[in-house]
């Protein structure tokens, strides 16, 4: 069958890195079943919306996209999957625009979707219990759509019950991928031209806790260091108690585990952290980031911060600002608190006015912009290793992303895309979107 004769499919993926990994797994299944991938939703025969449900706004966005895709593609077969599909299966099934719903438990098995498409009818399947004990869903990918950096799933689910978060109830409890499978995925991606992988999951710091004997993420990193796999490994998000001294020492001496960590903070006030049901205090958080900076002066450290959490007084917010000013932090992802139905925090009485949250968020974003500029400024005149990614910034066609997370505008040749290069940071323009001029070495 010619490519043109094959039925086509298109994805729209919302939310986290793990959702994008899941979409790649499903895409491989469709291609194996004789479909061809395209990126234009209106012209695709089969459309998959991989949803997010982290906030009530995410649910609304998912429903709006369902209606939008049906208007744009009235004859396509529309499938809804992901976290919103897990949380509100019956609600989505009731939407006349939707042909099929598949949940997080079942999404890797595309055979029922293919059969439903070929039968051109609505399919109803009973969803599995997301909390049932089972291995993590995992498939080896031979490529990743971005073709330069790949997200590699190392675990799924979360055992924490933070007061603001619904995700454990739509992803289940922690389930880890075995070391051998992860290393095999690394090898396959390397063979297919990938030069950097990002460790991905819902709560990757709990990787290995469900194994017997119990393992820690450091054990996975040590196993990787013992191989000759020529990849950069970028760790995504770790809570501060999940970063032991042994891991810091391993990162400091490694040439392949890049000096960049994102360490969720959420609040720099201990009372607020208790109400959030976080698993650390500010003193413990400070200790970890200071040890990371001492061991790796070039490291880039980022954090998530929630502003306007119920009960966050002016004094509590000021404590967060003072704490951030006093620790080595290079950028923030700032989130105004969003009430999520089904979480403990949604029932808290002392909700914060939206205008107050907006103002607090603006202040922290300004802080983040300055710290990001300071991080960039520190490396003027230095040469850094970088990987060329297809992201246009600063008037250039591509970005050279350094090991320590500096985005350098770069006009790349086709041969350079996805490759590692050396760049000399020669100038920084101090703005919210810093622009560096570089020299390729």
In a domain, residue 134? The reply is no
CATH classification of the domain holding 177: 3.80.30.20
pLDDT in tens, the chain (441 residues): 556 689 999 999 999 999 999 999 999 999 999 999 998 899 999 999 999 999 999 999 999 999 999 999 999 999 999 999 999 999 999 999 999 999 998 899 999 999 999 985 555 555 567 777 778 888 888 877 766 789 999 999 999 999 999 999 999 999 999 999 999 999 999 999 999 999 999 999 999 999 999 999 999 999 999 999 999 999 989 999 999 999 999 999 999 999 999 999 999 999 999 999 999 999 999 999 999 999 999 999 999 999 999 999 999 999 999 999 999 999 999 999 988 889 999 999 899 998 999 999 999 999 999 999 999 999 988 999 999 998 888 888 988 999 999 998 888 998 899 899 998 876 643 343 444 444 555
CATH classification of the domain holding 102: 3.40.50.12160
Gap between the Cα atoms of 426 and 128, Å rounded: 55
Looking at the 3D structure of the chain, how many domains does it have?
3
Does residue 115 share a domain with residue 246?
no
Q: What is the DSSP letter of 85?
A: H
With H, G, I as helix, E, B as strand and everything else as coil, classify residue 195.
coil
Q: Of 380, 397, 379, which Cα lies nearest the Cα of 388?
A: 397
In a domain, residue 142? The reply is no
Does residue 395 share a domain with residue 275?
no
Does residue 71 share a domain with residue 21?
yes
CA 12 to chain centre: 15
Does residue 110 share a domain with residue 246?
no
In a domain, residue 44? The reply is yes
Does residue 276 share a domain with residue 162?
yes
The pTM (predicted TM-score) of the whole model is: 0.91
> What does the DSSP assignment read for 336-370?
E----TTSGGGG-S-PPPHHHHHHHHHHHHHHHHH
Does residue 334 share a domain with residue 396?
no
In a domain, residue 140? The reply is no
Does residue 340 share a domain with residue 212?
yes
Does residue 177 share a domain with residue 214?
yes
Domain residue limits at 341 = 149-377
In a domain, residue 128? The reply is no
Q: 336 near 357, Cβ under 8 Å?
A: yes
Does residue 399 share a domain with residue 368?
no
Does residue 303 share a domain with residue 194?
yes
């Amino acid at each position: 069958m010619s490519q043109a004769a094959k039925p086509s499919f298109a994805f729209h993926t919302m939310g986290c890195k793990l959702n994008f990994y899941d979409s790649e797994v499903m895409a491989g299944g469709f291609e194996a079943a004789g479909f061809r991938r395209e990126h234009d939703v209106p012209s695709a025969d089969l459309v998959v919306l991989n949803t997010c449900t982290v906030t009530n706004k995410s649910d609304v966005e998912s429903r709006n996209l369902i209606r939008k895709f049906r208007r744009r593609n009235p004859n396509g077969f529309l499938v809804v999957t992901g976290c919103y599909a897990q949380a509100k299966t019956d609600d989505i099934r009731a939407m006349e625009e939707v042909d099929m719903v598949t949940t997080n438990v079942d999404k890797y098995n595309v055979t029922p979707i293919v059969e439903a498409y070929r039968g051109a009818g609505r399919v109803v399947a009973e969803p599995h219990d997301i909390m049932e004990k089972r291995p993590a869903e995992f498939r080896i990918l031979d490529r990743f759509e971005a073709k330069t950096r790949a997200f590699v799933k190392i675990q799924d689910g979360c055992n924490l019950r933070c007061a603001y978060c619904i995700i454990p109830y739509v992803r289940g409890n922690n389930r880890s991928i075995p070391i051998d499978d992860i290393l095999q995925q690394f090898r396959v991606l390397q063979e297919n031209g990938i030069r950097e992988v990002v460790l991905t999951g819902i709560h990757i710091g709990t990787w290995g806790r469900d194994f017997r004997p119990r393992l820690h993420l450091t054990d996975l990193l040590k196993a990787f260091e013992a191989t000759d796999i020529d990849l950069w490994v970028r760790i995504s998000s770790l809570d501060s108690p999940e970063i032991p001294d042994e891991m810091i020492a391993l990162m400091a001496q490694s040439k392949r585990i890049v000096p960049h960590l994102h360490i969720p903070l959420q609040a720099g006030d201990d009372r607020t952290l208790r109400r959030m049901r976080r698993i650390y205090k500010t003193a413990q958080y400070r200790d970890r980031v200071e040890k990371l900076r001492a061991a790796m002066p070039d490291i880039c450290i980022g954090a998530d911060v929630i502003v306007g959490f119920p009960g966050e007084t002016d004094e509590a917010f000021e404590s967060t600002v003072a704490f951030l000013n006093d620790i080595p932090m290079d950028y923030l992802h700032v989130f105004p608190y969003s009430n999520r139905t089904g979480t403990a925090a949604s029932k808290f009485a002392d909700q914060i006015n939206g205008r107050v949250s907006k103002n607090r968020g603006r202040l922290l974003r300004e802080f983040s912009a300055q710290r990001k500029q300071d991080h960039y400024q520190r490396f003027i005149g230095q040469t850094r290793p970088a990987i060329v990614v297809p992201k246009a910034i600063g008037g250039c066609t591509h970005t050279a992303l350094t090991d320590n997370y500096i985005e350098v505008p770069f006009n790349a040749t086709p041969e350079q895309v996805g490759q590692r290069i050396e760049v000399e940071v020669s100038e920084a323009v101090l703005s919210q979107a810093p622009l560096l001029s570089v020299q390729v070495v």
